[in-house]
Chains A and B, each alone.
Chain A
Amino acid sequence: MQPQLKSKVRCTDREVGEVTKVIMDPLSHEVSHLVVSMNGSGERQVSMGSVQTVTDDLVQLRSSSSEVMALPPFKRGDYVTLHEVEIPGLERNIHVTPGEVLVPFPELERNVKRRKFFTNLTYVMGLFIGLPLVYPMLKFLMKPMYAPFDNRWQKIGNVGKVKAEDTGTQFEFKHKVKEAYLPEAEIEKNVWLVKATPAVLEKVYQGKDKEFRDATGKTLWTNKKDMPYIAFSGKCPHLGCGYKWRKHKILGPVFLCPCHVSIYDASGRVLEGPAPRPLDLLPIQVSESGEVQIIDMEFKAGTKVQSRMV
């Protein structure tokens, strides 16, 4: 039991006063000292070590009254109150109040029996407001997420630009986009063209024409397996960076992506690096005058199986 405020303090010989303050130890969270009013002759600070017994209204000390009187006077300036300091958990350890401090429970409140009901009603009202908002908010955010594919043919330049067989040539072109409320804008894009020898073509098409379908599954275009020009999307199938045609010290001329160093040969096959699939082939047509047109498709990066995004 902790000493109570206002308890009488008795020494071995006589009663000396009452407990006016209690001093707590900030580390152990225990009462370390009592402050005793010496019946009008100042206050003394008494260590809990000299307390013999503590009862409801009496603190019995081991010392005599003259010993206690001989202690130096209590210095209030060396202490701060509990309200002026933050020592976590300290308040939970104090049981020295002289009694309960009470305020009246309001008359009207006393008769409210269904407190639980009203608590739950508050939650229900919250759900009533919140739940109907979930779907509209989600749809609000989702509006631009799934745009239809753009299957227009894009003019990208003339094959005259391709100087050698089985080498990558970059074709940069402007792709017109109209995004939501913005005015129509042109964004710069690029594809890689390869004039392939039959050996490379065989690697690309493996003897079969390549069909491209739209979202509904209808055939959009077929790349003939013997047409020498092939076009790759400029997006690396690893994580979507832009790759280059570079000379590799060991592998020779290759497509190389600087991001995570995926390396592909002229047929788009992965030679080295983290890419999960070959470069993405695009639908291509070349007019008699050599003008190249492609459908600017984009595919999801990082997947083994192609899945079209744009």
Chain B
Amino acid sequence: MSHTPSAPSAGTQPTVVEKVFDFVDERVGLKLLAAKMLNESVPGGSRWAYVFGSILLFIFIMQAVTGVLLMFYYVPTADHAYASTQYILHDVDYGWFLLGYHFWGSSAMVVCVFAHMSQVFLWGAYKKPRELIWLVGLSLFAIVMGFGFTGYLLPWDQRAYWATTVGVEIMDKTPLIGDFLARLLKGGATPGQMTLSRFFVIHVMVLPAALIGLAGLHLFLFRCAGPGGPFRGTPVELKAKTDYFFPRQIWKDVVGMAVVFASICALAFWEPVVLLEEATPDPGDYHPEPEWYFLFLFQHLRLKMFSGEFGQFLGAIAFPSLLGALLVALPFIDRDPERNIFKRPIALTLWVMLVVSILIFTVSAIINREFLD
């Protein structure tokens, strides 16, 4: 180095990295930005219960990375989708792993979304002034489900084909616009190339764009309102325990991410993705069934009360829509500022009921499998 810039008089020369950092910092205010990001006040201090939001962001980034890699080989056409997926699984080095990671990553996403929403619900964190965060969160939930539904078709095997067939038929039951919606999604009367093209574009372009935008908005709104903090404790106690996002909460988040990462890797390794026969409108011996996180919806349509045209409308459209509407209306119905879940018996009962019924329906769907042959 021939000449030194007007370095601080500390005596030591700044390293190249420091110089680059200072160069950027001078222009965009990096240090301040980093401080602002990390010095987020967490009332009542860091907790393991708060890790799910960060974990979801991590899972999404990993899904994007593995998803982009899969697209290097995957071809979204009816005559090549299956073969190219098989090629990824059996011929491409580590294809089985990346596809397995992407596959199990989607399940992890659903699990963590459920945990995240439950945490917010039980902590009463959807209440004023955090209603908007809740609403945007619900749309993110819908997007995650959309990812699962559209991604499922892409390998173009029997499982993919039938889950889509049934799923779209359910959409078809929406009053007035159902037929139009189903045809728009399928790109025709029956699933085929047009369906594959549409699901592919929705899966790799439309939903990621929507998710990135809405997740950004979700974070922005969260930063506007600030974390809710624990539902117990006096201001003095809270203040005594308050710390910043960095380092304790970030540490917990990172541990959570590592656990999730290890679990997904383990599943990808020990439970590799196995394709069924290539998709055809003849199911052969295959018993159509959706992904496990849709099983409870699938199973409840078997109930007698949801039989016939009207029953089906009730079970497939009205009942899920009502649940969705209830979730949307939640922060506006439940205006009581009390956040302690043990002082909100109705909320606690509803949550337990929902979890128990999801469990019951999922397990009974699994038990039902044995009786079908």
Question: Which residues of A line the B interface, CB within 8 A?
Answer: 25-28, 80, 83-89, 141-142, 144-147, 172, 175, 177, 179-180, 182-183, 185, 187-190, 234-235, 238-242, 256, 258-261, 273-276, 298, 300-304, 309-310
How far, in angstroms, from A179 to B180 measured CA to CA in the complex? 20
Among B48-56, B142-150, B181-189, B329-337, the stretch that binds chain A is B181-189
* Contacts A84-B35, A240-B169 given; does A274 touch B194 at CB 8 Å: no
Q: Which of A147, A172, A259, A276 contacts B189 (CB 8 A)?
A: A147
Q: Are B302 and A273 in contact (CB under 8 A)?
A: yes
Among B57-65, B66-74, B303-311, B318-326, the stretch that binds chain A is B303-311
Q: Are B170 and A80 in contact (CB under 8 A)?
A: no
* Contacts A85-B244, A274-B301, A275-B307 given; does A187 touch B281 at CB 8 Å: yes
Q: Which residues of B contact A298 (CB under 8 A)?
A: 189-190
Q: Are A276 and B79 in contact (CB under 8 A)?
A: no
How far, in angstroms, from A182 to B75 measured CA to CA in the complex? 14
Query: Total interface residues on B, using CB and 8 Å?
Result: 63
Please indicate which of the listed interface residues A27, A190, A234 has the most CB atoms of chain B within 10 Å of its own CB: A27
Q: Which residue of chain A is the closest to B286 with respect to CB atoms?
A: A242
Q: Are B188 and A240 in contact (CB under 8 A)?
A: no
Q: Are B235 and A182 in contact (CB under 8 A)?
A: no
Q: Are B32 and A190 in contact (CB under 8 A)?
A: no
How far, in angstroms, from A310 to B32 measured CA to CA in the complex? 62
Q: Are A86 and B78 in contact (CB under 8 A)?
A: no
Q: Which residue of chain B is the closest to A145 with respect to CB atoms?
A: B183
Which residues of B, 223-262, contact A by the 8 Å Cβ criterion? 223-226, 235, 238-239, 242, 244
Using an 8 Å CB-CB cutoff, how does the interface string of B164-189 with A read, 1 for contact, 0 for none?
01100110110000011001101111
Q: Are A239 and B301 in contact (CB under 8 A)?
A: yes
Q: Are B194 and A179 in contact (CB under 8 A)?
A: yes
Q: Are A141 and B184 in contact (CB under 8 A)?
A: yes
Q: Is B13 an interface residue (CB 8 A)?
A: no
Please indicate which of the listed interface residues B190, B282, B307 has the most CB atoms of chain A within 10 Å of its own CB: B282
Q: Is B40 an interface residue (CB 8 A)?
A: yes
Q: Is B216 an interface residue (CB 8 A)?
A: no
Q: Which residues of B contact A188 (CB under 8 A)?
A: 280-282
Q: Are A258 and B172 in contact (CB under 8 A)?
A: no
Q: Are A27 and B238 in contact (CB under 8 A)?
A: yes
Rounded to whole Å, the gap between the CB of B28 and the closest CB of chain A is 14
Q: Is B36 an interface residue (CB 8 A)?
A: yes
Q: Which of B40, B169, B235, B307 contacts A86 (CB 8 A)?
A: B40
Using an 8 Å CB-CB cutoff, how does the interface string of B286-303 with A read, 1 for contact, 0 for none?
111100000000100111
Q: Are B166 and A88 in contact (CB under 8 A)?
A: no
Q: Are B288 and A259 in contact (CB under 8 A)?
A: yes
How far, in angstroms, from A80 to B165 measured CA to CA in the complex? 58
Q: Are A276 and B307 in contact (CB under 8 A)?
A: yes
Q: Which of B36, B41, B77 contacts A26 (CB 8 A)?
A: B41
Rounded to whole Å, the gap between the CB of B297 and the closest CB of chain A is 11
Q: Is B100 an interface residue (CB 8 A)?
A: no
Q: Which of A234, A261, A310 contacts B190 (CB 8 A)?
A: A310
Q: Are B172 and A145 in contact (CB under 8 A)?
A: no
Rounded to whole Å, the gap between the CB of B168 and the closest CB of chain A is 8
Rounded to whole Å, the gap between the CB of A33 and the closest CB of chain B is 14
Rounded to whole Å, the gap between the CB of A11 and the closest CB of chain B is 29
Q: Are B309 and A304 in contact (CB under 8 A)?
A: yes
Q: Is B263 an interface residue (CB 8 A)?
A: no
Q: Which residue of chain B is the closest to A303 with respect to CB atoms?
A: B309
Q: Is B86 an interface residue (CB 8 A)?
A: no
Please indicate which of the listed interface residues A175, A242, A310 has the most CB atoms of chain B within 10 Å of its own CB: A242
What are 25 inter-chain pairs, A to B, with CB distance below 8 A? A80-B35, A84-B39, A85-B35, A85-B40, A86-B226, A88-B223, A88-B226, A141-B184, A145-B184, A145-B186, A146-B189, A172-B282, A175-B281, A183-B79, A187-B281, A239-B170, A241-B162, A242-B162, A242-B288, A259-B162, A274-B301, A274-B302, A274-B303, A298-B190, A300-B172
Q: Is B372 an interface residue (CB 8 A)?
A: yes
How far, in angstroms, from A300 to B41 measured CA to CA in the complex? 56
Rounded to whole Å, the gap between the CB of A77 and the closest CB of chain B is 15
Q: Which residues of A contact B165 (CB under 8 A)?
A: 239-241
How far, in angstroms, from A141 to B311 measured CA to CA in the complex? 32
How far, in angstroms, from A142 to B204 measured CA to CA in the complex? 20
Q: Which residue of chain B is the closest to A170 with respect to CB atoms?
A: B282
* Contacts A89-B226, A141-B184, A239-B301 given; does A309 touch B281 at CB 8 Å: no
Rounded to whole Å, the gap between the CB of A302 and the closest CB of chain B is 5
- Extra inter-chain contacts (6) besides given A241-B165, A258-B287, CB under 8 Å: A83-B36, A86-B223, A145-B188, A274-B306, A276-B309, A303-B309
How far, in angstroms, from A241 to B372 measured CA to CA in the complex? 14
How far, in angstroms, from A302 to B166 measured CA to CA in the complex? 10
Q: Which residue of chain B is the closest to A276 with respect to CB atoms?
A: B309
How far, in angstroms, from A184 to B256 measured CA to CA in the complex? 51
Q: Are A274 and B35 in contact (CB under 8 A)?
A: no
How far, in angstroms, from A1 to B86 measured CA to CA in the complex? 72
Q: Are B184 and A179 in contact (CB under 8 A)?
A: no
Q: Which residue of chain B is the closest to A87 with respect to CB atoms?
A: B41
Q: Are B39 and A27 in contact (CB under 8 A)?
A: no
Q: Which residue of chain A is the closest to B198 with respect to CB atoms?
A: A141
Q: Which residues of A contact B179 (CB under 8 A)?
A: 300
Rounded to whole Å, the gap between the CB of A235 and the closest CB of chain B is 8
Q: Are A260 and B301 in contact (CB under 8 A)?
A: yes
Q: Which residues of B contact A275 (CB under 8 A)?
A: 307
Q: Are A234 and B282 in contact (CB under 8 A)?
A: yes
Q: Which of A85, A145, A238 contacts B39 (CB 8 A)?
A: A85
How far, in angstroms, from A103 to B25 measured CA to CA in the complex? 25
Q: Which residues of A contact B289 (CB under 8 A)?
A: 259
Q: Is B43 an interface residue (CB 8 A)?
A: yes
Q: Is B193 an interface residue (CB 8 A)?
A: yes
Q: Are B172 and A302 in contact (CB under 8 A)?
A: yes
Q: Is B106 an interface residue (CB 8 A)?
A: no
Q: Is B312 an interface residue (CB 8 A)?
A: yes
Q: Are B32 and A83 in contact (CB under 8 A)?
A: yes
Q: Are A301 and B169 in contact (CB under 8 A)?
A: yes
Q: Which residues of B contact A86 (CB under 8 A)?
A: 36-37, 39-41, 223, 226
Q: Are B36 and A302 in contact (CB under 8 A)?
A: no
How far, in angstroms, from A267 to B171 measured CA to CA in the complex? 29
How far, in angstroms, from A62 to B304 measured CA to CA in the complex? 79
Please indicate which of the listed interface residues A86, A142, A304 has the most CB atoms of chain B within 10 Å of its own CB: A86
